[in-house]
Amino acid sequence: MGKIVVSSLVSLDGYTEGPGGDVMAIPMDMAFGNQNAERMAAASSLLFGATTFRGMVSYWPHQVDNPDAGEDDRFIARRYADGIPITVVSDSLTPEETEPYREQTTIVPRSGLAQRVAELREQEGEALVFGSRTVWTELMAQGLVDVLYLMVGPKIVAGDHRVFEGVPETNAHLLDARRLPGSEIVLLTYGF
């Protein structure tokens, strides 16, 4: 049976982006990239909201052969290029916007999210959610997240939307807590 796994970086004050949706306000470093590569290596598929997907599709295709990209970025870019299955939850994204990942991308309307998650859980492996705060908090609110990797960065950003907005009281079980090597980011791993 598959799992729904979320990996997210949050600020010390609990935001996934700064004011105005600025994701670059969040403190990212090499350890963040390494953690993302580890999660990507374990993933059998990806699950995004449209906003995050649009950001990913504008960045990753250019990293495969980028001589200035780090090893972790090139690895993640190759996973995309090798055809890892992608689900995008959106009522507005068009197939044309999924290029160059069109063949491996399935667009699911918001109303079909729970059904798609049920399908992903029937498959072996991990369906990984990067970014996509709106999608994964909706999944959490429905009790559909199995594991949450929460990277907490050492910065207060005073963003617009707290990370757990809309999520009801939920019990989580701490599976692990550690400081990422060479970083001030703390990785908290929770099971549900």
Phi, psi of 156 (to 5 degrees): -100, 120
**Burial profile 31-57: b = 16 or more Cβ within 10 angstroms, e = fewer:** bbbbbbbebbeebbbbbbbbbbbbebb
Distance in angstroms (rounded) separating the CA atoms of residues 20 and 189? 28
* 56-112 per-position pLDDT tens digit: 999 999 999 999 999 999 999 999 999 999 999 999 999 999 999 999 999 999 999
At residue 135, does pLDDT exceed 90? yes
Instruction: Give the pLDDT score at 15.
Output: 94
Query: Does domain 3-191 correspond to CATH entry 3.40.430.10?
Result: yes
* 137-179 per-position pLDDT tens digit: 999 999 999 999 999 999 999 999 999 988 999 999 999 999 9
Instruction: Give the pLDDT score at 23.
Output: 86
Return the H-helix or E-strand segment holding 88: strand 86-89
* 11-60 per-position pLDDT tens digit: 999 999 999 988 889 989 999 999 999 999 999 999 999 999 999 999 99
Domain boundaries, the chain: 3-191
Helix, strand, coil shares of the chain, percent, nearest 5, are 40, 25, 35
With bands split at pLDDT 50, 70 and 90, how would you rate the model's confidence at 128?
A: very high
Closest C-alpha among 74, 185, 90 to residue 132:
90
Its pTM stands at 0.93
Instruction: Give the pLDDT score at 21.
Output: 87
